[in-house]
Amino acid sequence: MMAAASSMEAEVAALRARYAAGRTRAAEWRAAQLRGLLRMATEMEAEVCHALHADLAKPHTESYVHEISLVKSSCKFAVKNLKKWMKPKKVPASLMTFPSTARVTAEPLGVVLVISAWNYPFLLSIDPIIGAIAAGNAVVLKPSEVAPATSSLLAELLPRYVDGACIKVVEGGIAETTALLDQMWDKIFYTGNGKVGRIVMASAVKHLTPVVLELGGKCPVVVDSNVDLHVAAKRIAAGKWGCNNGQACTAPDFIVTTKSFAPKLLEALEKVLEKFYGNDPLRSSDLSRIVNSNHFNRLKGLMDDQMVSDKIIFGGQRDERQLKIAPTIYLDVPLDSAIMKEEIFGPLLPIITVEKIHESFALINSMTKPLAAYLFTKDSNLQDQYETSISAGGMLVNDTSVHLTNQYLPFGGIGESGMGAYHGRFSFEAFSHKKAVLVRGFAGEAKARYPPYSPAKLKVLKGVLKGNLGVMIQAILGCPRGK
């Protein structure tokens, strides 16, 4: 372990030296890396899908739609906008410092660490490093060991497609991650859960490293009666079970709807689920499996909880050997049950009913802020109220999950669901420092600035700071006279 830690130190030091030599700064280098990643995602599609299937039994289509295509569009977007993002922005300089010019220039932070998660192991590894590279940093990527096939594929592929001297993959588990967190980083980007998020932030204190934490939460879905029910049911089902069988940070965690509408919603969901996965969902190849036995046992525990086991109204089938759990729906579980207190991260969907749909707001606000909050309704008043009453990283009306495919929207959490955001330009900014540059000349000297102070000087300063043009001109002309 000691040898590993000191060799890691040496590796990071070497990265730092290459960064300091300016290797990652030029736009050409950055664009070349991004194109390399794009080529990798295109040429290695089959290999990536194969690894994702090994790790998660992820259906090919999900792998393509949710991981590969998002990586490709992210690369293309970054390449297209790179020059624009890199260009310094002129800003107004104050009349107070006349004559002067001011600009804000984006510079890389230096050497950054990206720690990825197991549920979208390809996307959540490459998407953040796209931002880090576009911003001109050297990068270390630590893929999740809980998705080992994807981790070793990334370790093998990245050096073939990008500059392996400045972009490194370090594989491993807790020991290796701890050793990495001990090194000096200019930024740490972590995707995962709140418990480890706290450990990452606490480790970051050592070198005063700023962090982005993309964490989880319970993403609520409020379903009004004023909806196109069939479409809503499909979109909810796609966002829940069509996303890694519920193992996604933006998957709908639970539904809130009115008592009167619940039966209709339930019927629509059952119909959709049968269409998607057939009569025997455990046999469907379109359903991901649970990632490992730890998580399977965790979900089993939630299902077998006495408080909720009699509230199950659909599904419940499971196969421990294959680590598969079928889409399962509960009705009105107690709010203090484990399934309503923890992030489910699996194919269990509680439906909570209320008398009036507005009661859902108080319920959601009593919980910690989620990464995403969903609402299905055609009522624009209800939409507005939801938007102003609920705080979340992101909000989506009449659909689930797709907002994260929009490169123009920041993607990140708030409160327990995280801090910082990325995607598109926000990725570039997450890994940049906005440096203010103010350029003055030697003209425009205002004696009133300097001691010895006097009431006359104070008067001039007041005029200048209030923006009084006449006083400013006087100041520039050298009033008050004398010292």
Judged by CB under 8 A, the stretch of 91-99, 118-126, 137-145, 250-258 that binds another protein is 91-99
Using a 10 angstrom Cβ sphere, with 0-12 exposed, 13-18 middle and 19 or more buried, the burial of residue 315 is buried
Using CB under 8 A, which residues numbered 375 to 394 contact another protein?
A: 378, 383, 387-388, 391-394
Q: Read off the DSSP letter of residue 224.
A: -
Q: What token pair was written down for 450? A: 């300097």
User: Is residue 240 close enough to count as binding another protein by CB under 8 A?
Assistant: no
CA distance 466 to 19: 45
Judged by CB under 8 A, the stretch of 1-9, 26-34, 157-165, 416-424 that binds another protein is 416-424
Using CB under 8 A, which residues numbered 132 to 161 contact another protein?
A: none
Q: Which is nearer to another protein, 128 or 242 (CB)?
A: 242
Q: At CA 407, angle to CA 161 and CA 73, rounded to 5?
A: 35
User: Is residue 238 close enough to count as binding another protein by CB under 8 A?
Assistant: yes
108 and 403 in contact (C-beta within 8 Å)? no
Task: With H, G, I as helix, E, B as strand and everything else as coil, classify residue 434.
Answer: strand
Judged by CB under 8 A, the stretch of 96-104, 112-120, 303-311, 324-332 that binds another protein is 96-104
User: Is residue 102 close enough to count as binding another protein by CB under 8 A?
Assistant: yes
Q: Which is nearer to another protein, 155 or 231 (CB)?
A: 231
143 and 151 in contact (C-beta within 8 Å)? yes
Q: Read off the DSSP letter of residue 65.
A: I
Task: With H, G, I as helix, E, B as strand and everything else as coil, classify residue 220.
Answer: strand
354 and 334 in contact (C-beta within 8 Å)? no
Core vs surface per residue 395-424: b (16+ CB within 10 A) or e = bbbebbbebbeebeebbbbbbbbbbbbbbb
Q: Which is nearer to another protein, 224 or 253 (CB)?
A: 224
Q: Read off the DSSP letter of residue 162.
A: S
Q: Which of 17, 437, 469, 473 binds another protein (CB under 8 A)?
A: 437
Q: Which is nearer to another protein, 43 or 228 (CB)?
A: 228
Q: Which of 31, 32, 54, 69 binds another protein (CB under 8 A)?
A: 69
Q: Which of 92, 304, 477, 481 binds another protein (CB under 8 A)?
A: 92
Please give the single-letter amino acid code of residue 22.
G
Q: Does the active-site annotation cover 28?
A: no
Q: Which of 436, 470, 477, 481 binds another protein (CB under 8 A)?
A: 436
User: Is residue 395 close enough to count as binding another protein by CB under 8 A?
Assistant: yes
Q: At what angle do helices 174-182 and 194-204 cross, to 10 degrees?
A: 30
362 and 390 in contact (C-beta within 8 Å)? no
Q: Which is nearer to another protein, 336 or 408 (CB)?
A: 408
User: Is residue 26 close enough to count as binding another protein by CB under 8 A?
Assistant: no
Q: Does the active-site annotation cover 75?
A: no
Using a 10 angstrom Cβ sphere, with 0-12 exposed, 13-18 middle and 19 or more buried, the burial of residue 208 is exposed
Cis peptide before 452 (omega within 30 of 0): yes
Active-site residue, from 166, 219, 249, 429: 249
User: Is residue 27 close enough to count as binding another protein by CB under 8 A?
Assistant: no
Using CB under 8 A, which residues numbered 442 to 481 contact another protein?
A: 442, 445, 449-454, 457-458, 461-462, 465-467
Judged by CB under 8 A, the stretch of 107-115, 124-132, 339-347, 352-360 that binds another protein is 107-115
User: Is residue 312 close enough to count as binding another protein by CB under 8 A?
Assistant: no
**Cα separations (Å) of 228 from 260, 355, 379?**
16, 21, 12
**Which phi and psi (to 5°) does residue 479 adopt?**
-80, 160
> How big is the site for another protein, counted in residues (CB under 8 A)?
103
Active-site residue, from 67, 214, 343, 416: 214
User: Is residue 421 close enough to count as binding another protein by CB under 8 A?
Assistant: yes
Q: How far is the CB of 422 from another protein (least distance, A)?
A: 11
Using CB under 8 A, which residues numbered 160 to 219 contact another protein?
A: 186, 194, 197-198, 201-202, 204-205, 208, 210, 213, 215
Q: What token pair was written down for 103? A: 């600009």
Q: How far is the CB of 297 from another protein (least distance, A)?
A: 26
User: Is residue 356 close enough to count as binding another protein by CB under 8 A?
Assistant: no
Q: What token pair was written down for 136? A: 């001109």
CA distance 446 to 457: 10
